Structure 1
Amino acid sequence: MSDITTDQAPSALLGSPHPAPAVTSEEGRAEAEKLTGTPATWELKADRSSTTVWRVTGPMGQWALKVGRGEGTVVVAREAEVLARIGATVPTTSYGARTKSGGTSTSAWLLTPWLEGPSTWDALRPVRDGKVDQRQAALAAAADMAAAVGALHHAGWVHGDIQPHHSIHMPGGVRLIGCSWAWNTSIAPSNAFHGGLLHLMSPELMTRAAAGQGPLGPTQPDEVYGLAASLWWASTGSWPLDYAQLGIDPGKFTASALRQVLVRRWPPFGNIPAWPQLEEVLRAVLTVRPDGRPSALHLAQWLRALPA
């Protein structure tokens, strides 16, 4: 699975094979088919206004081709730069050493090995569906995601956009995708980044975003909050914040308007009645002050010790 993010493309073409790409003939196509071999099958996986993702399959393997245009140009170009800098130094993003990229002033493309496996969102589906007998495997997946984030933090990086769709579970371990906003001491946070998925942002990151403080570089404690919020969401299908307690429907607000609401009044957290032990662990991360927030590796240890 490549980076499709949580935005579901409305196109009826998603997942349908095509003998050749309709919109990528000059943007990475030759490089993709050099890696996969020909004949190659092109499968459209995401098609948004500024970014398109293809799964390219040939006799020599499978690769993901992401093309950014317009506003997507800087996003795709930055992800290519991040993966080139990370290289093979961090196991959770080691595929970055094999990437290929290019572009012009109006577009950018990125080729990454196709990462085959379920996302954490997929792995926790049994929990959302109430299948108690499958909790152990789901809990292991949650712990593996936390450990993957912890490994990235240990290497001095912040991912920037942690969410359950951005971690892929493979036989060799979890791989983190969607790295466009990652940063460390060698690459500064991007001015184009606005904080990621709003419902997963820590209160302190939300405050900085609302104040227009930029560049908006999430810290590791910010990211641990986002990690716990991601696991809550993936386990329940609901946001951790109980917006009903504010009497609002977050879907009726723009991101900027909802951000202003949350800065003025942070709602209480909801509940996970079907699994109170998991709620206790995640709530302990979400409610503590930033300077007391545990590391991602500590959260992984807590999850591994949790009875299913």
Structure 2
Amino acid sequence: MPQRFALIIDPVEASEERADFSGTFTVVDAAAPALSVGELSTQRGDGVFESIGVIDGHAQEVVPHLERLANSARICDLPVPNQEQWRQAVAVAAAECPAGEAVIKLILSRGVEHGPTPTAWVTAAPASDFSNVRANGVKVVTLDRGHPLDVAERAPWLLLGAKTLSYAVNMAALREANRRGADDAVFLSSDGYVLEAPTASLILRFGDRFVTPAPTGGILHGTTQLSVYDYLSGRGFDTGYDRIPASDLPRAEAAWLVSSIRLAVPVTAVDGTSLRVDHGLTTELNGYLLSPRN
């Protein structure tokens, strides 16, 4: 996925108010070097990020993504982003996106080692084609994440509630899933509760009730999951959050992995046990997620 557009942000205080932040952006060649070799995002994965879906030039769910970026920054003791500055940067990047589906990435790093300020940048590129998995679904395996459900409260230094650049564990989980003959993974707490997928939220259906793991225990509160819940609530379905035992997974009447770029992907099997796929509702969900949303 080659980058089509990139700009560097000169971060300002979160409290600073002004109508125009364009003077704090520098457009750079997306194919050229732009970061220092001392950059801590590349040396240590010391930073946070967000990926925003773009449909025909319209950036989706910008405010929830910026709020989550700010929350991640707080957890990681990074300067909290100025929401209006970053909103304007997203708008600039969205205007450079091609027709169809694209992705904007927001990155906030601790900066250069021993440097005085953070590093921040935005990129835009065409999105990968996920039409096949949206239609045909994915098989998942469950993987132990290695900590109990309440560890985020007891050990906040693990940064489990932040969307950090340190994604090595998430990528290792996907490779392990592939080794086991699956397409994706669902993390479980060491005490047997469902968490999330490496790059997506999980939604389960039991009758007319839809449930997702409560956004505690280091689970990211998914922006796309919130949009799906808005749609389902509008259809009259019951939606909620709960502690979900791993034993409930194979009992679900349907399940989806949902994320900003891949959107709603049905789960066809869990640890080799087949799940029913609701193709009609999946089509509805993706139709909604592909429509412009703020």
TM-score by length of 1: 0.33
Greater share of residues in strand: 2
Greater share of residues in helix: 1
TM-score by length of 2: 0.35
> Which structure is higher in RCO with an 8 Å CA cutoff and minimum separation 6?
2
